[in-house]
Amino acid sequence: MKRGYLLVFLAASMWGTLGIFATYIYRYGVDSFTMVFWRVLFALIILGSYIALFLHENPFTRRRLSFYAIYGLVGVFAFYTLYFYTVKISSVGFAVLLVYTAPAFSVLLGRLIFREPITAEKAVSLIMVMLGVVLVAGNVNFNVGLLPLITGVGTGFVYSLYGILAKFGVRDERPERVLFMTLFFGLLYLAPFAKFSVPSGAIPYLLGLAFFPTFLGYVLYNHALREVEVSRASIVATVEPVVAIALAYVLFGEKLTPPQIIGAVLIVGASIIVHSKGVEEEEIR
């Protein structure tokens, strides 16, 4: 597997652990905004220490502060605000399902902004991914009003913008610093809505949430975007729900239904198609 695609797969695998940590954290009565605030805060501490101790650089930069302010607003605050609001007025399953409209937006934005071609293989893979996500999501209640639909699709659109902005960011800046500055501004936006104390029992899980799906996940993804088209990366990244249901099966004994298994196969198959064709096109070049 080409390095860039492997990094996307590993990043998505890290993101697949998010639901596991969140399940344990919610048991301590921690609300969503507080959980995200502490997730980002701990991730900043981990990431800042990594940049300073191992990369021997200052994690802060004064360059392009307006860019990072917008990036933190869109990629951190707006995404989680829309996501949790959609959950509140509909259901978790419905919100998660619409998050994965992101690959469709990424393909279109990749074409408009980066001139990435919309190929037959991308179109087929996108259809496979969308169908796969519907099947993996299981029994989702679609009997919702217009507002959840708008906020849910808005969540997917904002989610796709993370990759678009990251692609700009990592062109001439270290991926770790791009992530650090984005999280820093995201933390500032989240602070007014969060509680500054959490039960001590939740802290180990918050640290896990900060380290695996946040620090590792986004650092890996930012590095991948230096090598992979944002449209292809977004499609491959949809293996995240496959990892999530596999972990739920192993750790919580949740049942895997035949439709979920078929959906997982479709998503993995789409990722393989995108990876294989991408590598083939690069070899031709």
223: its two tokens: 């590095």
Task: Report how far residue 220's alpha carbon sits from residue 11's, in angstroms, rounded to the nearest whole number.
Answer: 5
Tell if the pTM clears 0.85, that is, is over it: yes
139 pLDDT more than 80: no
pLDDT of residue 195: 94
Q: Give residue-wise pLDDT tens across range 207-217.
A: 999 999 999 99
Which amino acid would we find at residue 216? L
Q: How confident is the model at residue 252 (pLDDT cuts 50, 70, 90)?
A: confident
Task: Report how far residue 217's alpha carbon sits from residue 39's, in angstroms, rounded to the nearest whole number.
Answer: 13
Mean pLDDT, rounded, for 163-182: 95
**Sequence spans of domains, the chain:** 3-280
pLDDT of residue 280: 58
278 pLDDT more than 80: no
pLDDT of residue 23: 87
Structure-token match 């419905």, residue found: 94
Percentage helix, strand, coil for the chain under 3-state DSSP, each rounded to 5: 80, 0, 20
